Amino acid sequence: MFGSHITGRKKTGGKADKRSVRAEEHEQQQLEGYSKKPLSVSLKDNQVFIQQEMGESQDIIFRSIRLTDTGQTNVLIVYVQGMVDDERMNKFIIEPLHRERYPADRELEPNELTDKLKSHILSIGIVSDIKDWKQFFQKLLLGYSIIMIEGTAKAIAANVVGGERRGIEEPKTEMAIRGPREGFTESVRVNSAMIRRKIRSPKLWMEQWTIGEISQTPVCIMYVHGLADENVLKDLRERLDAVKIDGILESGYIEELITDQKWSPFPTIMNVERPDAVAGNLLEGRIAILVDGTPFVLIVPSILNMFFQAAEDYYQRFDIATFLRMIRFVSFLIALLMPSVYVAIVSYHQEMIPTQLLLKLAAQREGVPFPAYLEAFIMEFVFEILREAVVRMPSAAGNTISIVGGLVIGQSVVEAGIVSPAVVIVVSFTAIASFVSPAYSLGIAARLLRFILLLAASTLGFYGIALVVLLLLLHLTNIRSFGMPYTKPFAPLKIKDLKDTLVRAPLWLMRERPQKLAVQNPVREQIEPEPRKEPGQ
Amino acid sequence: MSKRAASTCQPKKDGMRIKAMLLLSLCSLIVLSGCWDLRYLDKLGVVLALGVDVDPAGKQELQLTVQVVLAQNVAAESKGGVGGTPVTTFTETGDTLFEAIRKMSAKTSRRLFFSHTQMLIIGEKMAKRGISSLTDLIERNPDIRTDISVLVARGITAQQLLQTTTQMESIPINQIHEMIEVNQDSYGTNYVVEVHDLSMLAGKGKQQAALPSIRLEGKKALRNTVDNVNRIPASAYPVLSTMAVFKEGKLTGYLKPKQSRGLSWLQEKVKSTTVTLACPESQGHLVVEVHEASRQYQVERTPDGMPVIKIKLLITGSVQEIMCPGVQVVEEGTLNEISLLAEGAVKAEAEDAIRKLQKEWRTDVLGWGREVYLKQPGIWKRIEPEWPEVFPNVKSVVDCNFNIIGSGVRGESIVK
């Protein structure tokens, strides 16, 4: 729905005039239009203006309080119901105001009252001044409570942001046997605090943007100053500045708008749900992008290798972690290649498999009405449908799908002789292998490419597979993520960085931070360089 | 809005068209498949063995029999059902193998597929007529492997052998194929010879061929029925015989079992075997198992310029079975005595084989010509033209060194 309003960073000749027309259309809707307009000194006028601008929405609450005995209303509190914490609101704004009573002779000047409110009365941590309607609406819609005073064009915004939100739960997409159980939430502040709790350093810096012309979504970047590459930072800032879109509802919007590779199935920006994973990446000199409203935090620059690393790798012993890493790489290859290799073998290269296996496969294919490649296509497609059904469906119906999917598709189809058991085995194994990847976004890439490979295998056999794989390798070596080659450290080869790729070297061997990322400060502040020697050795 | 889009997107349109064309051509790959060498697995008749006989009618050069797997029956078997036979055979005559293969298409509903062929079986009559021409097709055709093993059907035709049902392996050719390897691994009277081994013989030195042979025992008439394998034991079953010896590509004769193993010793083909010895000082036998055997050739020159072949057999083994009273294998002296006996036995087998091959059949199966060529090229150059005449008179010395490294857990024999 917001997609139609995107104007990307890429400017082509035709787009300039389109944009200006659009800008006019949107002028009234967007907050920029309010920036010149000051508040009125009259509370009445202000209230009327707000109601008019916001269409008399019922969730905008106006609460007036009299501070004097003369009968005149002189303080107006405006907030959005549900976005403020009612308890704090009552306790720290309304209650103190109620206690203030000024007799007619001791009435304060409006400006004096404003200062006094800020300095004495409101027991709120974050308080700021508001001078125009742009600031007013920004704060109001972030969940601030706005206190306006009769007789002055200034208002005070008090941070009582609250309301019901999802609490911190275990991350749903990145499970770990061992490791912290907390995952990010939808609130950018809660998320940034979770990162700060992991990296308690003054050098953990943050910068904030408000992106989305209408949605006004807070977007933060976090990095460790002195570790993160200044060039990448500069590049990232420019890209974020250039984002023009109506709304950011999820970090996927940002990912798509700032990514280097617009036409690649491979993700060049990683998303993570675990604070510990983000912290680990920040410590290696990468930058995190936090977007309000989503638990998925983006990491830049992201290279292929990172998608095979799970946070848990660093919590388990290195030998076990290495074994798991290798399983992941192998599984990725299986998920990518197995159906196409099967099709190539049974359609073109029957001489390549052992005789006994050939006879078994031939026996299974006996009487199957479809050629092998069509069979594989059908089953892969059926599997994708099943998978999508399970993801979207209400969880109560989950069992039904697994029974229908498992029994009907898996068993009956084979028993009826419509599909050979070998294809079912291949497809199921591929499916299992594709779930091994810790990064879902790379798994999707493999899903797409699998069909292309299947097509190549069914037309040209191994030759076709080799061609597509070659093209893929070419493509991979061409991709960059914020200036970093995607296939690093394999190509270009950085022997030192290979310690955290196919293998996960012991921590005491990984003394140096990944090259190129941490140019400014290449050596990790390390634990002892080597394991403590046994006394007496 | 749409008008503006149309006008502003003009330069992009060509790119879009190219992309659309690319996509279209990619999609057409699905439809176009099948033009190339796509072979449906269920449209192939997998040939496991080729059998070559003389054309019984005598009109054409040869008669080819192929053993083809019936995959549907193999599957029925694995599910526990009773299907038909797992294989069938097709027979056709022709002047060449390839002609016969293509003529066979008149009898088969599937394309014959030769990449998984495991054996070439040559009927006895065909073997006598000559085998040199048969391997050419297998060497030349990229579809057929050259590591398929070759066998002579002794006393029967290849067709009869291929039509025999077997009990241990449901696919008969698997049984025959495994038999040779098992025999070579545990007894050593036969050894595997593959097509490329045969074609290597044609090189310098003019080595002659020797092939393992197999015969049929029992009631041959019942061999091709399912009833055959429904009895214990089977009515007719293939049995491995001894090595068949060729001269100039024609079958000369079959060795006796001991000679056949003698040939295996000399060809370094023995992997493991047993040597039965008479007890040193009493009645009874003892058995020595061979673990390792190797052979070294040395070619020396006599004063008259003739080669002398010195053969050294190095064998390691252990005592396995003692049926002699009073033999104390715990004593080193006894073991030395046994090893001397074993050396004598092996040497006798080897010398017997040499005598038969060299003096009687005058065929250089042992590859002495090549040894002379490699080790005494000077002599070879001179004698090469008359090698067939020189060979029977070449002197040879066999020396055997049998090293016994163990005698099992018992010191004394149970037999008193």
Pair (A231, A94) in one structural domain: no
Distance CA A238, CA A222 (A): 15
Q: Which of A228-242, A301-315, A404-418, B106-120 has the lowest mean pLDDT?
A: A404-418
* B3: confidence class by pLDDT, cuts 50, 70, 90: very low
**Facing residue for B39 by CB, picked from A347, A355, A458:** A347
Measured CA to CA, the distance from residue A437 to residue A441 in angstroms comes to: 9
The Cα–Cα gap between A323 and A126 comes to 50
Nearest to A189 by CA among A299, A278, A298, A291: A291
A339 and A481 together in one domain: yes
Contact between chains at B41 and A361 (C-beta distance less than 8 A): yes
Cis amide leading into A489 (omega within 30): yes
**Phi, psi at residue A257, to the nearest 5°?**
-80, -25
Name which of A27-36, A104-113, A266-275 the model is least confident about: A27-36
Decide if A173 is inside a domain: no
Write down the residue that tokens 């996927």 correspond to: A252
- pLDDT tens, A152-161? 888 899 998 8
Backbone phi and psi for residue B157, each to the nearest 5 degrees, phi listed first: -90, 160
Q: Between the CA of residue B5 and those of A24, A236, B60, B241, what are the distances in Å?
A: 18, 30, 79, 87
Q: pLDDT tens across A413-467, in order?
A: 888 888 888 999 999 999 899 888 888 889 888 889 999 999 899 888 898 899 8
Instruction: Give the A:B interface size as CB pairs under 8 Å.
Output: 82
- Tell whether the model's pLDDT for residue A72 goes beyond 80: no
* Co-location of A209 and A146 in the same domain: no
Interface of A with B (CB under 8 A): 12-15, 18, 346-348, 350-351, 355, 358-368, 371-373, 455-456, 458-461
Rounded-to-integer distance, Cα A133 and Cα A140, Å: 10
Give the mean model confidence (pLDDT) for residues A128-146.
88
Q: Give me the pLDDT at residue B50, please.
A: 94
Percent of chain B at pLDDT exceeding 70: 90
Q: Mind telling me how many Å the CA of B13 is from chain A's nearest CA?
A: 13
Query: For residue A494, is it within any domain?
Result: no
- Per the confidence metrics, is the pTM higher than 0.80? yes
> What would the pLDDT profile of B326-376 be if each residue is shown by its tens digit?
777 778 888 888 899 999 999 999 999 999 999 999 999 999 998 999 999
- The encoded tokens of residue B317 equal 């083994």
Residue A238 belongs to domain spanning: 188-302
Nearest residue in chain B measured CA to CA from A342: B41
Residue A15 pLDDT level (bands cut at 50, 70, 90): very low
Neighbours of A290 (CB within 10 A): 28
Taking every pair of Cα atoms in chain A, the longest distance, rounded to a whole number of angstroms, is 107
pLDDT at B205 over 90: no
Question: pLDDT at position B352, please?
Answer: 95
- Of the spans A13-17, A415-419, B180-184, which averages the highest pLDDT? B180-184
> In angstroms, what separates the C-alpha of B101 from chain A's closest C-alpha?
19
H or E element, residue A298: strand A297-300
Task: Please tell me the distance from the alpha carbon of residue A273 to that of residue A311, in angstroms, as a whole number.
Answer: 11
Q: Distance between CA A397 and CA A172 in Å, rounded?
A: 19
The chain B residue lying nearest A344, using CA atoms, is B38
And the tokens for A89? Answer: 């609101």
Residues in A touching B78 (Cβ below 8 Å): 360, 363
Q: Is A283 in the same domain as A357?
A: no
Among candidates B4, B29, B143 on the partner chain, residue whose Cβ is nearest the Cβ of A459: B29
Q: Determine the pLDDT at residue A2.
A: 38
Give the E-state strand segments of A150-257 in sequence order: 155-158, 204-211, 217-224
Out of B42, B48, B143, name the one closest to residue A368 (CB).
Answer: B42
pLDDT for residue B144: 87
Q: Cβ distance B139 to B70 under 8 Å?
A: no
B48 contacts A459? CB cut-off 8 A:
no
Burial class (CB in 10 A: 0-12, 13-18, 19+), B227: exposed
Q: What is the pLDDT of residues A310-345, one digit of tens each?
A: 888 999 899 999 999 999 999 999 999 999 999 999
**How many domains, in total, are found in chain A?**
3
pLDDT higher than 60, residue A162:
yes
Nearest to B75 among A347, A364, A461 (CB): A364
- The single-letter code of the amino acid at B183 is N
Given an 8 Å threshold on Cβ–Cβ distance, is A347 in contact with B71? no
Nearest by CB: A348 against B4, B8, B37? B37
> What are the residue ranges spanned by the domains of chain B?
36-254, 258-416
State in Å, rounded, how far the first CA of chain A is from the last one.
Answer: 69
Secondary-structure percent of chain A, ordered helix, strand, coil, rounded to 5? 50, 15, 40
User: Could you tell me whether strands B111-113 and B44-54 are parallel, antiparallel, or unpaired per DSSP bridges?
Assistant: parallel
Q: Residue A132 in 3-state DSSP?
A: strand
The chain-wide mean pLDDT, for chain B, equals 86
Strands B87-94 and B62-69: antiparallel
In a domain, A309, yes or no: no
Beta bridge partners of A156: A129, A147
CATH, range B258-416: 3.30.300.210
Q: What is the pLDDT of residues A212-263, one digit of tens each?
A: 888 889 999 999 998 888 889 999 999 999 998 999 999 999 999 999 888 8
Is there a domain that residue A240 lies in? yes
Is the Cβ–Cβ distance between B46 and B68 less than 8 Å? Answer: yes
Residue B53: the pLDDT is 95
Per-residue pLDDT tens digits for A163-208: 888 889 998 888 888 889 999 999 999 999 999 999 999 999 999 9
B243 close to B269: Cβ distance less than 8 angstroms: no
* Range name among A15-19, A216-220, B64-68, B194-198 with the lowest pLDDT average: A15-19
pLDDT, mean of residues A370-399? 86
The verdict on residue A128 lying in a domain is yes
Q: Does A18 map to a domain?
A: no
DSSP for A59-102 reads: TEEEEEE--BTTS---EEEEEETTTB-HHHHIIIIIHHHHH--B
Residue A96 above 90 pLDDT?
A: no
Rounded to the nearest angstrom, the minimum Cα separation between A375 and chain B is: 12
Q: Which residues of B lie inside 8 Å of A (Cβ-Cβ)?
A: 4, 7-9, 26, 29-30, 32-33, 36-42, 44, 46, 48, 69, 71-72, 74-75, 78, 113, 115-116, 118, 143, 145, 171
* Element at A147 (helix H, strand E): strand A145-149
Query: What mean pLDDT is reported for chain A?
Result: 84
Q: Which of A429, A468, A458 is nearest to A370 (CA)?
A: A458
Residue A265: strand, helix, or coil: coil
How many CA atoms does the CB half-sphere of A410 hold within 13 Å? 14
Chain A residue nearest residue B68, CA to CA: A359
**Pair of tokens at residue A75:** 């303080």
pLDDT at B72: 80
Mutate to test the interface with A, among B30, B41, B173 (most CBs of A within 10 A): B41
From the list A296, A329, A337, the residue with the least C-alpha distance to A313 is A329
3-state SS of chain B? CHHHHHHHCHHHHHHHHHHHHHHHHHHHHHHHCCCCCCCCHHHEEEEEEEEEEECCCCCCCEEEEEEEECHHHHHHHHCCCCCCCCEEEEEEEECCHHHHHHHHHHCCCCEEECCCCCEEEEEHHHHHHCCCCCHHHHHHCCCCCCCCEEEEECCCCHHHHHCCCCCCCCCHHHHHHHHHHHHHHHCCCCCCCEHHHHHHCCCCCCCCCEEEEEEEEECHHHCCCHHHHCCCCCCEEEEEEEEEEEECCEEEEECCHHHHHHHHHHCCCCCCEEEEEECCCCCCEEEEEEEEEEEEEEEEECCCCCEEEEEEEEEEEEEEEECCCCCECCCHHHHHHHHHHHHHHHHHHHHHHHHHHHHHCCCCCCCHHHHHHHHCHHHHHHHHHHHHHHHHHCEEEEEEEEEEEECCCCCECCCC
B216-251 pLDDT, tens digit per residue, is 999 888 888 888 888 898 999 999 999 999 998 899
DSSP 8-class letter at A527:
S
> Which range has the top average pLDDT, A403-412, B70-79, B135-144?
B135-144
